[in-house]
Structure 1
Amino acid sequence: MLVSERIGQFFVESDSGRDRLEYTEYGSGDAWVVLLPAELVPRRMQQPLAHALAAEGMHVVTLDPLGHGRSDRPADPHAYSVTEYAEQVVALLDHLGAAQAVVGGTSLGANVALETAVIAPERVRGLVVEAPILDNGVEAGILVFGPLLLAARFLPHSVSLLRRLTRPVPRGVVPFWAGVALDACDQRADALAALLHGLFFGRAAPASKERRRISVPALVVGHPFDPVRPLGDAVTLADELPKGTFVRASSALEWRLTPERLDRAAVGLVAGCWKTPRRRRRTGV
């Protein structure tokens, strides 16, 4: 089934100024879904799932949060936090005129989806959460992203060199996921350092007591053998959420390489959230 695609943009105001965010819409209608990428990865990583959901009649929007993909990349650490990203999701819904949406994401995107449900519960109809980073992933996250932060801060030429080497590679001649990885290498050292600093020292995710109050249906997908996004965090989250359903992926690559099973689970959750809509009209909020 052919799915329409439209690229859009909107602007948010913050202490760092006025910033531009870019998104892609798939499909149409009032059954809204917002999908968020993993840390440093462009929104294009969610394109396959967006196509699968839109083919089932959903109106899907993939967003590049600040510092990602084609959105602006300020060099101010205060511009980056899970809460700031959740506020950007709400601003996107306002821009689209969407009263509610199912919000989903991977890794950092999963944490942002949870935060959106905490700060604006009336806007979130359901959650599709893949590989959240909660208490058990903190140490591994520091080991993985700490050196990247130090390199961006003290060896900026290494980040610039990687950008110069990867930017000229035509994305159309490499496999889809190789192109996504190349896009993730397209970083500016000052903005990368600011983003990682903001995420390291800001709020990483809602607290357990806040997660237990999230009452919407939620699909939680966990990865085995993934130290940064431990399976235990996903299991714990699914137990905490009153309407959480846990699905164990065979690996972190399942949803990338053989997505059919997990796509079906996501379509089922989203379709169930919109089966008896409470508010299907657009709104001018």
Structure 2
Amino acid sequence: MWVVLLPGLLMPRRMHDHLARSLASAGAHVVTLDLLGHGRSDRPDDPFAYSVTAFAHQVVALLDEVGAGEAVIGGTSLGANVSLEVAAIAPERVRGLLVEMPVLDNALEVAIVSFAPLLLAARVLPIAFTSLRFVTRRVPRGIVPWWVGIGLDSVDHKPGPLAAYVHGLFFGRVAPPASERRRIKAPTLVVGHPRDPLHPTSDAEMLAKELPNATFDRAGSILEWRRSPERLDLMATKFVLDCWRPARRTRRTAN
């Protein structure tokens, strides 16, 4: 019973530590992955190394490495989009999908406004990012709250790889188009948040309607799975267990 959890944009894999422990306590083999450019993974300066499709191939390679024929693939934000891409390029490897706040059609304008300045600043003001790293790296992670540590890790990026990372995602394929999403048959749990312009609830609701085997849940806020995760952890655990239950055989009726 394999599960792979993928982090959000620029975040390390340990953002899913709590959910991973909950799933593991239910008997799942859980792997949290630092995609290229994240956490402890390599961070090349080449923009062509970064794309949602490239990240999806990394997930498939991980499944090969651990000997998992299938897995429930889940993620947040960027990780949600990568999960959908895995289902598009390798549907036979996907037992189910856990998709939290995907970034799709309705987030386009906000994504451009949010990340274009980041790309420009990393190119023309690299000293700002170098200085930020100098400060944040000196904060011991053990003395700050867990989510503060996640935030500190999320800004720990060298300007060159950061610019390449944003450039690759900005100009590449962000997610499978609607025509491909409608062909994804894996059971899917979609979680959306209110009042989140970069991850609008409309994207999550649209995705749940497009996928033939999807269930939608509206979180109380973007902080619910961070600060009060019990309800969503329980929902995700039940979903994963249901994905791995053997399909019921249809009883034959004698003529």
One-letter code of the match for 1:234? Answer: A
TM-superposed CA distance for 1:276, in Å, is: 1.4
Of residues 27, 39, 47, the one that matches 1:69 is 39
TM-superposed CA distance for 1:99, in Å, is: 0.4
Q: Which runs of 5 or more residues in structure 2 are unaligned?
A: 248-255
One-letter code of the match for 1:250? Answer: G
Counterpart-to-counterpart distance in 1, 2:117 and 2:12: 21
Match of residue 253 from structure 2 = none
The equivalences for 1:3-14 within 5 A come to none
Q: What TM-score do you get using the length of structure 1 for normalisation? A: 0.86
Counterpart-to-counterpart distance in 1, 2:186 and 2:57: 19
The equivalences for 1:1-285 within 5 A come to 31-276=1-246
One-letter code of the match for 1:40? Answer: L
Q: What TM-score do you get using the length of structure 2 for normalisation? A: 0.96
The alignment-based identity, stated in percent, is 63
Offset from partner CA, 1:189-231 (integer Å, 9 cap, x none): 0000000000000000001011111101100000110000110
Counterpart-to-counterpart distance in 2, 1:200 and 1:186: 20
TM-superposed CA distance for 1:232, in Å, is: 0.1
Q: Determine helix, strand or coil for the equivalent of 1:195.
A: helix
Rg larger in structure = 2
One-letter code of the match for 1:123? Answer: R
TM-superposed CA distance for 1:119, in Å, is: 0.2
Structure 1 runs (4+) deviating above 4 angstroms are none
Counterpart-to-counterpart distance in 2, 1:252 and 1:269: 20
TM-superposed CA distance for 1:147, in Å, is: 1.0
Give the paired residue count.
248
Aligned-CA RMSD value = 1.0
Counterpart-to-counterpart distance in 1, 2:169 and 2:102: 14
Counterpart-to-counterpart distance in 1, 2:142 and 2:48: 35
Counterpart-to-counterpart distance in 2, 1:131 and 1:214: 18
More strand by share: 1
One-letter code of the match for 1:142? Answer: I
Q: Which runs of 5 or more residues in structure 1 are unaligned?
A: 1-30, 278-285
